[in-house]
Amino acid sequence: MDSKTYEKEINLTDSSDKLSQLEVKYLGRNGVINDLLKKIKDIPSDEKKDYGQKVNKLKTSIKRLIEVKKKELAGKKSEKFFDATLPGKIYPKGSLHPITYTIEEIASIFQKLGFIRVSYPEVEWEYFSFEALNMPKGHPARDDFESFFIDYPEHEKFGRMVLTPHTSSGQNREMRRLKTPPIRMINIAKCYRRNWDATHAPMFYQFEGLCVDRGINITHLKGTIDFFAKQFFGPDREIRLRPHHFQFTEPSFETDINCNICKGTTKINGKKCRVCKSGWLELGGSGMVHPEVLRAGGIDPNIYTGWAFGFGPERCLMMKLGLDEIRDLYGGDIRFLEQF
């Protein structure tokens, strides 16, 4: 067979279909090469070896040509379809949950003031959640913290196990940990209560500030919360302390921040402000640590004084963004979360 014939034929092929046909034509079961091999029986025996070698050489060379051509055609195909102007694949990008980054922001504001971030057990003994906070067994104030108790044997000193209903349970733990003041704690943790409505979820977060040292008074409390409010909500925000009652602080306050929608006027274009009622919004509770709470933590209230507060990161975030449904934050709906 003339080598020029098949070489030309293979080299001039311009599609993989045609090349497959040639492959069958030359290398197939009834192809040219097999025909040549079949003829070996008619070849005189002293020429058989030589003949066989030639046919095999031919076969190898055709095979190689076809391989080369195959690669060439595959390359051409992808070159032909490659459009460098098409946009690349866009992979979905993850981001932190809005509550997570709010918590990080809060922690970093308090860390600037030298507060140490701590976390204490989510499943806590009754003692740390109530008794250590001046709420003995049977005290009606405990009803405000409708709690989830755990089915677990009672501890002889610390009572039942409970899903911690507030971060105030960290106060006694931090006093025990440090033993002597100064204490500057920021405890950010999950809390659990039997609540479920537009502004309450059964699981939520709180951040609890605790500061104990010699000579600590209300001005320190107010100055610290004011610093937080200006850092978190903006420099034009102000806070006020309104008398209230908590069992673990004396005096106690509700802490408010001025409304930035109506600027404290309670009206927008003659209509009632839809965000606040009085020009102020409630941040949460605060006060001077009750002497009994200091005593329970092993701290002498005649030497040391302290303040504490407990606020909700979700509430702060909702106030900052103007959200009115806490459940949106926990719904896990990607269309909501993607906006942050």
CB-nearer residue toward ligand DAH: 55 or 178 = 178
Q: Does 134 bind ligand DAH (CB under 6 A)?
A: no
Which is nearer to ligand DAH, 23 or 174 (by Cβ)? Answer: 174
In the complex, minimum distance from the CB of residue 286 to ligand DAH, in angstroms, rounded to a whole number: 5
- Contact set for ligand DAH, span 30-49 (CB under 6 A): none
Question: With the CA atoms of 291, 296, 301 and 306 taken in that order, what torsion angle do they form, in degrees rounded to the nearest 10?
Answer: -70
Beta carbon of residue 210, minimum distance to ligand DAH (angstroms, whole number): 7
95: three-class secondary structure by DSSP:
coil
* 182 touches 213 (CB < 8 A): yes
Phi, psi of 327 (to 5 degrees): -65, -20
Q: Shortest gap between Cβ of 165 and ligand DAH (angstroms)?
A: 7
Asked whether position 208 contacts ligand DAH by CB under 6 A, the answer is: yes
In sequence order, what are the residues at sequence separation of 6 or more whose Cβ sits closer than 8 angstroms to the Cβ of residue 338? none
What is the x/- site pattern for ligand DAH, positions 310-339, by CB under 6 A? x-----------------------------
Pick between residue 285 and residue 297 the one whose CB is nearest to ligand DAH: 285
Q: Per the annotation, does 7 bind a ligand? A: no
Rounded least distance, CB 291 to ligand DAH, Å: 14
Sign of CA dihedral 261, 271, 283, 321: negative
Of 321, 303, 319, the C-alpha closest to 311 is 319
CA–CA distance from 308 to each of 146, 147, 253, 254, 304 (Å)? 22, 22, 10, 12, 14
Distance in angstroms (rounded) separating the CA atoms of residues 163 and 321: 29
Smallest gap from residue 208 Cβ to ligand DAH (A) = 5
User: Which pairs with CB-CB distance under 8 Å and at least 24 residues apart come from 321-324?
Assistant: 322/261, 322/275, 324/198, 324/199
Q: How far is CA 88 from CA 34, 75, 78, 81, 94, in A?
A: 49, 21, 16, 15, 18
Nearer to ligand DAH, 287 or 313 (CB): 287
Binding mask 236-265 for ligand DAH (x = CB under 6 A): ----------x--x----------------
Which residues, numbered 73-102, are part of the site for ligand DAH (CB under 6 A)? none
C-beta of 66 vs 289, nearer to ligand DAH: 289
260 vs 286 by CB, closer to ligand DAH? 286
Site for ligand DAH in 272-311 (CB under 6 A): 284-287, 308-310
In whole angstroms, give the CA distance from residue 320 to residue 181: 34
Identify which of residues 25 and 200 has a Cβ nearer to ligand DAH in the complex. Answer: 200
Question: Closest distance between ligand DAH and the C-beta of residue 138, in Å?
Answer: 19
Q: Minimum CB separation from ligand DAH for residue 183, in Å?
A: 13
* Count of residues that bind ligand DAH according to CB under 6 A: 12
* Choice between 26 and 246, CB closer to ligand DAH: 246
Strands (E), 172-238: 183-192, 203-213
Cα radius of gyration (the chain): 40
Q: Which of residues 155-174 bind ligand DAH (CB under 6 A)?
A: 166, 168
Residue listed under structure tokens 């076809």: 66
Residue type (1 letter), 204: F
Neighbour-count burial for 220-252, b at 16+ CB within 10 Å, e otherwise: bbbebbbebbbbbbeeebebebeeeebbbbeeb
CB 22 within 8 A of CB 73: no
CB of 287 to ligand DAH, least distance (A): 4
Q: From the annotation, which residues make up the binding site?
A: 250
Q: From the annotation, which residues make up the binding site for Mg(2+)?
A: 250
The binding site for ligand DAH (CB under 6 A) comprises 166, 168, 208, 246, 249, 284-287, 308-310
